[in-house]
Copies of this chain bind each other. A is one copy, B any other.
Amino acid sequence: MPQLRVALAQVNSTVGDVSGNARLTVAWVRKAREAGAHVVVFPEMSLTGYPVEDLSLRETFAQASRQAVDALARELAEAGCGDVLAYVGYLDQDEVGPRDAAAALYGGEVVARQYKHHLPNYGVFDEHRWFKAGQTLDVVRLHGLDIGMVICEDIWQEGGPVSALGEAGVDLVVSPNASPYERSKDDIRLPLVARRAAEAKAPLVYTNLVGGQDDLVFDGDSILVGADGILLGRAPQFTEHLLVVDLDLPGGGHAAEGEFHGLRVRRRVLGTEPVPAYEPGPEAPISEPLSDEAEVWNALVIGLRDYVQKNGFSSVIFGFSGGIDSAVTAALAVDALGPENVHGVSMPSKYSSEHSRSDAAELARRLGCHLRVEPVADMVDVYVKQLNLAGTGLAEENIQARTRGMLLMALSNLEGHLVLATGNKTELAVGYSTIYGDAVGGFAPIKDVFKTHVWALARWRNAEAEKRDETPPIPENSITKPPSAELRPGQLDTDSLPDYLLLDDILDDYVEGDRGYEDLIAAGFDAETIDRVIRMVDRAEYKRRQYPIGTKITFKAFGRDRRLPITNAWREGAQR
């Protein structure tokens, strides 16, 4: 049976860095060739990064991308890699408009180009805005084997382009992807790819992007599935990886040209000689998917690291309050950037408890990161006196939070660290934060993590450390003490909010599930609590709009995933 060695280049591209991504591509094709691969498949838009958003509409960017893909074909040949068939993703543009494209490079030239057919326009995706859909399928015959390609969303379509390839007849389907991480998504991908392989009647190569881009993180998890649906190789999540798989293909080049499912199939012959028989390499690794908590932790670490580094920063600074949110943020930051790049600031006010200071100090000690103490009493005093804020409640409380925000920004201006906001998703949902206060920052690592989940992550990370005989990074007291903003004496979060277990349960239905009042009643919550929570969520929209971005890990993250008007008189349940 004809043999073929296929490599999946699970790389971390940078949006907009066309020349850097091209250099990365050359390096990885070289690696693939050294590993003896005949075909190497990069992720969707690997040459431009993904998503490029409205850069897709910029003529000069599209031109640069088109030129880069042509130049890349030549460079690969010059680098002695012209005999490897390399699939790279890029931005194309023709008379119809911009295209989410993939090109097959071989022998110094672009031997096939194909445009994505199905353009997702839900969730975080605006692809009907960014691209025009393709209508053709380009099959190339290499070593007597017919190889078809489909891009990302195209494999999510039953009876779509993959089905057309199946009917035309191909020996292998390759698929460049950029599929953002969200919890439990990998449970969906494998059966999906297996179904499509069956539809194609051929093995399917699924290469996914890895790395962070603004609020998205791509987890890799590239897979290769046989025509029979059996998993033949799986790359680890959250790291760059070259997955090499040896295939035996029944093969023999039987692809037909013409119309299939309304799509035009074209074919180009590169070579008909089978690969000379060779000894297959060791079986490809099948990486175990990470546990749910490990997956989330890694997503948050990579999302933070790539945001910091791809934006030219090396260090971060934020408030160490002694609470759980800043403790988890600190542990993430140390995992992402190393302790020497993490700067904690303890900013006690007159309402700060003794434990808030000692827990902050203990956190820094465990992590080995920097900590300085900057009391805010003097600053707060000037405002309180000049504006007569004593006893005014909210106005006085907010002054403390905002003084801290200003202080962090001043230190950032002085020393060049990126400021992190430490708010969690629950807080952001109900507006339990001070805009221009604790909401200050360039990035918010845990903004998509519900409060109860923050605690679970803390426990998990500590347990991991114990397994490895390391010091658990998060002080036990930060996990167990009742949460408080400490903006007035004896204040507790539960003074203003329902219990977090209950609150997160409601938010899961209202925010993630987009459920209405009646559904929440049916789910067993009481009417008054539902009303209260819904009103808090609706009224906090203006705060969320000005909040920094942060890594999406859930089905529906605040931001481009959930687009609601600020001016919005709709109140769930007010009609009853």
Contact = CB atoms under 8 A, between A and B. Distances in A.
A51 interface: yes
A281 B212 CA distance: 66
A122 interface: yes
Interface stretch (A53-61, A73-81, A149-157, A320-328): A53-61
B436 A563 contact: no
Given A60-B516, A382-B378, A407-B387, A51 B547 contact: no
Given A386-B378, A436-B405, A436-B436, A565 B55 contact: yes
A542 B548 CA distance: 8
B409 A402 contact: yes
Contacts of A15: 565, 567-570
A121 interface: yes
Contacts of A374: 386-387
A399 B406 contact: yes
Contacts of A17: 569-570
Nearest to A393: B413
A480 interface: no
Interface residues of A, number: 82
Given A15-B568, A128-B128, A407-B387, A414 B442 contact: no
Given A54-B564, A378-B382, A61 B570 contact: yes
B16 A568 contact: yes
A546 B545 CA distance: 7
A316 to B, nearest CB: 14
B383 A310 contact: no
A291 interface: no
Contacts of A109: none
A14 interface: yes
A264 B413 CA distance: 63
A311 B14 contact: no
A201 B544 CA distance: 49
